[in-house]
Amino acid sequence: MRVISIAGQEPEPASCNEESGVVRKISLPLARREFLKGSGLLFGSLATGTLLASLAPSNAWALELKKLSTAEGQTLMAMGRVLYPHKKLPNAVYALLAKDLDAKAGSDASAATLLQEGIAGLDSLAGGAFVKASAAKKEAIVRGVEGTAFFGAVRAQCVTSIYDNDMAFAVFGYPGSAWEKGGYITRGFQDLKWLPTPSRDASPAPYMG
Amino acid sequence: MATFDFSDDSVVLIIGSGAGGGTLANELCQKGIKVVVLEAGAMQSSATFINDEWKSFSQLAWLDKRTTSGTWRIAKDFAGLPTWICKTVGGTTTHWAGASLRLQDHEFRARSVYGDLKGANLLDWPITLKELEPYYAKAEYKMGVTRTNGIPGLPGNNNFKVLHAGATRLGYKEVHTGNMAINSQPRDDRGRCMQLGFCFQGCKSGAKWSTLYTEIPKAEATGNFEIRPLSHASRIEHNTSGKVTGVVYFDKDGKEQRQKARIVCVAGNSIETPRLLLLSASNMFKDGLANSSGQVGRNYMRHMTGTVYAAFKNPVHMYKGTTMAGIVRDEAGHKPSRGFVGGYELETLSLGIPFMAAFLNPGGWGSEFAWWMDHYTNLAGMWLVGEDMPRETNRVTLNTDIKDQWGNYAPNVHFDDHENDIAMRNHAFTQAERIYQAAGSIRSFRTPPYPSTHNMGTSRMSARAQDGVVNKWGQTHDIPNLFISDGSQFTTGGAENPTLTIVSLAIRQADYIARQMIERAI
C-alpha cells in the first residue's frame, strides 16, 4: 500500500512548465485532506525476516485515528511499550492499543478528555515529549501516574488490545483456535520428551479407533 | 417439543437448565412428569461455540450487573464480575472443565469432624455419603465419568506430564488424569475427546458432558418437556396458603409473562437462586421466600482457589489438549497437622494468551509481567481447589442502589477469606511450587483466585429449619412445593469440584418429587 506523505511538495497548479518535470497537480474536487479523514495517522512496517513479516500480506501498515492526533497516538503506543514491554512485538501491535483507545475517545467525550489530558500530563512530566524521553525516564513517569484514572484506562485496554490479536498469538507461539484443525490429538498434545512418560495407569493411551 | 399453556398449573417449573435444572428436568420427564424449564440464556450448540477466549466469554458468561464487597481481591480487581458462570442453555455445564469427583465421607460431617471454628458457620449435611452413593453411581454412569463404569482415563497431555513428573518425584501417590465427564472413547452417541484445549469455551466435539446436548434433548424426546430460552425469571409467586403458584418472567421479546406451576424448582446457580428468593419477598414473606432462618444468600462458598504457573527451560505448550485432565489427590483429606481443616485438590489448568494477560496477575504490568507472557510456550499450570469455610457474613444480598435491565435489584456478593482459607491456600501454593521445582522449573508464579467458577451454599441444606433453607431433599423448609436444585444446596463445599454432587442430588430430588406427587403431598 502506498503511504501518503503528509509533508508534500507544492507544484504550481494548472500551469505548464516543461523544464521541471514535476507532475502537475491538477485541481481535483477532492482536496488532499479528504484522503485522510481522520485526525491522525500511525504507520510503520514489519521488520523483514521476522515471523510476522512472513505471515502478513504486506510489510507496511497504517492506522487512521478518528479523534486523537498522530502525536497523541504515538504517545499511547509508547506508554503501552512501557506497561507491557515486549521486544518481539512490533509497533503494529502497540498501534492497536492506540486504535482502541482512539475509538473510545471518539464515542465518549469524557474518555477523550481523560486520555488527552493524561497524554499531555506525560509530556509535561517528560519536560517536552514523552516519546523522546529515555526508557528509564519513561518508566519512572508511568510509575508516577500509576493509580490515576488515566493509567487505569490505558492499562486495562492493553490487556485486550496488545494480547488478543493474531500478531501477538503468532509472536508468543499460541496457535489459537484448534477445532478446525481436529484438535491436538494427532498434533502433539503429549509430545513432550524432556520428562518421563507417565505410567499407563496414570495416563492411558489415547483411543484412536 | 411439547408446549404448555401459561395457565397449566400441573407442570413442574424449573428455573435454570444447567447441571441441576437440566438433570432434574430430564429425570422428571423420564418418569412421565410434565416439565417447563425457563432459561435466561440463549440456545447455543457445539456448532456455535467459539475457540476464542474473549468471544466465547461474551457468548456464554453471565454478564448482568453484579457488585462485590469484602476483602477478597475480586472486589478490587473484578468488582463487577464476582463469578465466571454461564447464561446459556446448559448453564455452566457448557463452560465447566469436566472434573467429576465425589465428596468425601467426612466432608458431609464437616461440623462434627472439624469442630466449631470461630468465624465459620460450619454445619453437618442432613445426608451422608452412604445415602448419596447410589446417586453418585447413577450420575457417573449418566455423565460417562472416566475411571468409573469401565471407562478408561483420558490420555495425559504435556501439562499433565509436567504435573506427574514433579508430583511423583515429590512423593505424591495419587496422580492421574482424573475422573472426567469427558469421553475417552465414543459413548452415548458422542465422540471421544479430540484434545482441543478449549474446554472452557464449550466443547465443540461434544465429548464433554453438558446438559445442553444430553439431558435436554433426552427430556425433549419424552414429549413431556418444554424449554423456553431467553426467559428471565423475575419473581416466584405464592398464594395465601403460602404455596408457590408460578413464576413471573421476561420472555424473549422482553414481555412479562406468568407461568403457573404445581411445583417450582430453582436452579439458577448460587448467585441468582438466592437473589430470586429475595426478590420474591411479599407481605407474607417479608425477608424473601423460604427465608425464615435468615440464611438465604448466606454461607456463600467459592472454594479456596489459586493457581500456580511455572516456567521451564524447555517448551510445554500446555494449551494443547484437555484443560483439566490431571490431578493430585493426596492433599484432599483432613490432616489438621498441616495447620488447617479440610483439604484440597491440585488439578492441571491452562489459559490461552488472551486470558493469561487478564488473569495471571490482575493489574500487573512492566517487565516482570511481560517476562511471563514471553515464556508462554514454556509454562505449565495447575489450579488449587479446596474446602473454604461457610461464613454467615459471606453472602449474596440485593443491592438496592443498582437495578438490572428488568428493573430488579442487582445482587451483591460479599466475601472475606476465613483464616483457614488463607492457611490452606498458602500451603497449596507452596506444594504446587515444590511440584514444579521437582520437575525442573526455573520460576513460578502465584496467581490469585479467578472470578469464582465454583459457587455454593447460599440456600443450604440443614436438618433443622433454623439453620438453613432446604431439607435433605432440597425442599425448602418453609414452602413444601418450592425446591432448590443447584449448588446453593451445599451445606459445606468439600474439596471437590461441585458438579457431580449437583447432578447426583438432582437425580435423587427427582425421585423424591415424583414420590411426593404420586402421594399428592405436593
Tens-place pLDDT, residues B22-50 = 999 999 999 999 999 999 999 999 999 99
All three cell numbers of A105, joined, read 475517545
Residues of B in contact with A187 (CB under 8 A): 320
In chain B, the residue whose alpha carbon lies closest to the alpha carbon of A164 is B354
Chain B partners of A179 at a C-beta cutoff of 8 Å?
Answer: 51, 194, 196, 198, 204-205
Q: Which of A7-16, A140-149, B5-14, B136-145 has the lowest mean pLDDT?
A: A7-16
CB contact under 8 A, A177 and B164: no
Contacts of B164 in chain A (CB under 8 A): 195, 198, 202-203
Residue A197 with chain B: CB contacts under 8 Å: 161
C-alpha cell at A150: 488515566
Phi, psi of A45 (to 5 degrees): -145, 150
Q: Does A197 sit within 8 Å of B376, measured CB to CB?
A: no
Percent of chain B with pLDDT over 70: 100
Which of B163, B353, B372 to probe by mutation at the A interface, max A CB count within 10 Å? B353
What does the pLDDT read at residue A54? 83
No. of H helices and E strands in chain A? 7, 2
Residues of B in contact with A201 (CB under 8 A): 176
Q: What is the average per-residue pLDDT within B346-372? A: 98
Please indicate whether, in this complex, the C-beta atoms of A201 and B164 are within 8 angstroms of each other. no
Q: Which residues of chain A lie closer than 8 angstroms to B438, CB-CB?
A: none
Structure confidence at residue A59 (pLDDT): 86
- Round to whole Å and give the CA distance between A97 and A151: 13
Facing B175 at nearest CB: one of A85, A162, A202: A202
Contact B377 A172 (CB under 8 A): yes
- For residue B99, the distance in angstroms to the closest alpha carbon of chain A comes to 16
Task: List % helix, strand, coil for chain B (3-state, nearest 5).
Answer: 30, 20, 50
In this prediction, what percent of chain B has a pLDDT beyond 90?
A: 100
**How close is the nearest chain A Cα to the Cα of B370, in Å?**
6
Q: Look up the pTM and report it.
A: 0.94
Q: Across residues B368-385, what is the average pLDDT?
A: 98
The distance of A195 to chain B (nearest Cα, Å) reads 7
Q: Which of B157, B164, B358 sits opposite A202 (nearest CB)?
A: B164
Contact B197 A183 (CB under 8 A): yes
Calpha distance B281→B413 (Å, rounded): 19
Our CA-based measurement puts residue B45 at a distance from the nearest CA of chain A, in whole angstroms, of 14
Q: What is the pLDDT of residue A31?
A: 46
Joined together, the cell numbers standing for residue B47 give: 456448532
ipTM of this complex prediction, to 2 decimal places: 0.95
Q: Are A153 and A103 in contact (CB under 8 A)?
A: no
Give per-residue pLDDT as tens, B447-477: 999 999 999 999 999 999 999 999 999 999 9
Low-confidence winner among A46-55, B141-150, B202-211, B381-390 (lowest mean pLDDT)? A46-55
Burial zone of B362 (CB within 10 Å; 0-12 exposed, 13-18 middle, 19+ buried)? middle
Tens of pLDDT along B187-203? Answer: 999 999 999 999 999 99
> Minimal Cα distance from A182: which residue of B?
B194
From first to last of the 209 residues of chain A, give the pLDDT tens digit.
Answer: 555 555 555 554 445 545 556 666 665 554 445 455 678 999 999 888 888 888 888 888 999 999 999 999 999 999 999 999 999 999 999 999 999 999 999 999 999 999 999 999 999 999 999 999 999 999 999 999 999 999 999 999 999 999 999 999 999 999 999 999 999 999 999 999 999 999 999 999 999 99
Residue B491: is its pLDDT beyond 90? yes
| Chain B residues inside the 8 Å CB shell of A85 | 366-367, 370
- B489, exposed or middle or buried, with CB in 10 Å at 0-12, 13-18, 19+? buried
Chain B nearest-CA distance from A85, in A, is: 6
The pLDDT tens digits of the residues spanning B422-451 come to: 999 999 999 999 999 999 999 999 999 999
pLDDT tens by residue, B88-122 = 999 999 999 999 999 999 999 999 999 999 999 99
Q: What's the pLDDT at A58?
A: 83
The pLDDT of residue A29: 53
